[in-house]
Structure 1
Amino acid sequence: MTVILLRHGLSTSNTGGTLAGRSPGVELTDRGGEQARGVAARLANLPITRIVTSPMLRCQRTVSPLAADLELEPVVDDRLAEVDYGEWTGRKIKDLLAEPLWQVVQRHASAAVFPGGEGLAQVQARAVSAIREHDRALAELHDGDRLWVVCTHGDVIKAVLADALGIHLDGFQRIMVEPASLSVVRYTRTAPFVTRMNDTGSDLSGLAPSPAPESGASGPVPGGEIGAGRKDG
């Protein structure tokens, strides 16, 4: 299975310079709405089987145009919610820069626990568990490769990508995930393979699964090399 990790579009909290966290009612800006429609246009011709979303409003607004185009009902999964920043929720990011914990978040994320909230290691564990669970469920339901979409948040996506890349959570801040960007992970029986990160505009037609080879057909595996786990076609 191949999952497209979609960060929500530009939100009022992004433009306001605050840490939205799980604050209710955080909407997309006009630009964020345009981004959501742009994502729908980019993905509309792909054979997407499932859409899973964070319960936060900004994520549900982002997937709404895509879900309408594909006639799919998004599945809400609380495990893909934004980080619970606890007492930091709603605060100005410029004010948080002076907090001693800020440098821990940047340099030693696996040890970072937000006051009154959760730790980033917990975030990674719940998000990766959710994505792998949905991926396994789709594999059990369908023969061959399938595409599906998860709409969630920047830190959540970075934590999932760190896991897929096999890097320590302490390095997850080196990964960039912009609003409305797409990152793609193909999960196989042996390992995940990251095929795109922070993609905001390239052609996505290559993500469409290749037709299954006919029984008895010979030749190399389409789009890949032995051990590479790639899917280029």
Structure 2
Amino acid sequence: MTRFLLIRHAATELLDQRIAGRMTGIHLSSVGRAQAERLAQQLATREIGTIYSSPQARARETAMALADNREARIRVADELDEIDYGDWTGRTFEELSGISEWRAFNAVRSCARIPNGEFMPDVQARAIGLMERLCKLHSGLTVTLVSHADVIRFALAHCLGMPLDFLLRLEISPASISTVAMDLYGPRVLCINYHQRAISDHEFF
């Protein structure tokens, strides 16, 4: 059995304001850096194995916080990259709310294609393809994947047998951990969206 820690990168200044997508130069905010440090402390006594990160700076910075003071290796994996948001990259959510294509995108992810961007089933396929390869490469070990909210949602949806149109029913917070175990019999979801703040703020209870 291979255990995957699916970690969303910590917060940036654009969080909940704009589609960051694959814009360059998007780094963790001061809040995000603190989140990443807290996450690293939470995992300090846990086995995290090899770390695979999205190529985006915000994900790599989160991965580096996890790798600090331990011998974990960080490898960049394009399969964990943020969705290519095409023409919507950099747009505010307020701007997008008035666009019919955006509303359709969020209603029917199973057949949604972003203008000059990615087809959503392709995003799921690349994420799951990576996990299946790593399951064999790191058989019996723990592997950490640092990625983005929707990419993690796609992976979890596959593991749960959930239709892509229900994707937004899964909450994936910044610097959160979701855990999946995979073996020859398939995936098992062990945890979704764990983060320390959720416990203190009673989000789960």
Offset of residue 192 of structure 1: 0.7
Cα distance in 2 for partners of 1:52, 1:160 equals 15
Rg larger in structure? 1
Residue 164 of structure 1 corresponds to 159
Residue 4 of structure 1 corresponds to 5
Given that 1:67 and 1:73 are in contact with CA atoms closer than 8 Å, whether structure 2 keeps it comes out as yes
Residue 104 of structure 2 corresponds to 104
Residue 46 of structure 1 corresponds to 46
Paired letter, 1:60: R
Offset of residue 71 of structure 1: 1.8
Q: Deviations over 1:169-190 (max 9, x none)?
A: 1111110001001100011211
Aligned 1:128-147 pairs, distance under 5 A: 128-139=128-139, 145-147=140-142
Aligned 1:78-89 pairs, distance under 5 A: 78-89=78-89
Paired letter, 2:181: R
Given that 1:40 and 1:69 are in contact with CA atoms closer than 8 Å, whether structure 2 keeps it comes out as no
Given that 2:48 and 2:72 are in contact with CA atoms closer than 8 Å, whether structure 1 keeps it comes out as no
Cα distance in 1 for partners of 2:150, 2:48 equals 24
Residue 178 of structure 1 corresponds to 173
Paired letter, 1:182: I
Offset of residue 129 of structure 1: 0.6
Residue 19 of structure 1 corresponds to 19
Given that 1:51 and 1:73 are in contact with CA atoms closer than 8 Å, whether structure 2 keeps it comes out as yes
Cα distance in 2 for partners of 1:66, 1:116 equals 34
Cα distance in 1 for partners of 2:121, 2:69 equals 36
Cα distance in 2 for partners of 1:193, 1:59 equals 25
**Count, aligned residues:** 196
Offset of residue 73 of structure 1: 2.2
Given that 1:49 and 1:146 are in contact with CA atoms closer than 8 Å, whether structure 2 keeps it comes out as yes
Given that 1:161 and 1:194 are in contact with CA atoms closer than 8 Å, whether structure 2 keeps it comes out as yes
* TM-score, structure 2 normalization: 0.92
Offset of residue 48 of structure 1: 2.2
Residue 192 of structure 2 corresponds to 197
Cα distance in 2 for partners of 1:149, 1:71 equals 13
Give the secondary structure class of the aligned counterpart of 1:40: helix
Residue 148 of structure 2 corresponds to 153
Q: Deviations over 1:81-113 (max 9, x none)?
A: 000000100011111011112222222101111
1:28 has 2:28 as partner: yes
Q: Deviations over 1:26-79 (max 9, x none)?
A: 011101000111111111211222100000000001111211222222010011
Cα distance in 1 for partners of 2:147, 2:136 equals 19
- Unaligned stretches of 5+ residues in structure 2: 198-205
Give the secondary structure class of the aligned counterpart of 1:22: coil
Q: Deviations over 1:108-137 (max 9, x none)?
A: 101111111111111111111112211211
**What's the % identity of the aligned pairs?**
33
Give the secondary structure class of the aligned counterpart of 1:28: coil
Offset of residue 18 of structure 1: 0.6
- Unaligned stretches of 5+ residues in structure 1: 140-144, 203-233
- Structure possessing the higher relative contact order (Cα contacts under 8 Å, 6 or more residues apart): 2
Paired letter, 2:4: V
Paired letter, 1:11: T
Cα root mean square deviation, aligned = 1.2
Q: Deviations over 1:128-159 (max 9, x none)?
A: 111221121111xxxxx321110000010000
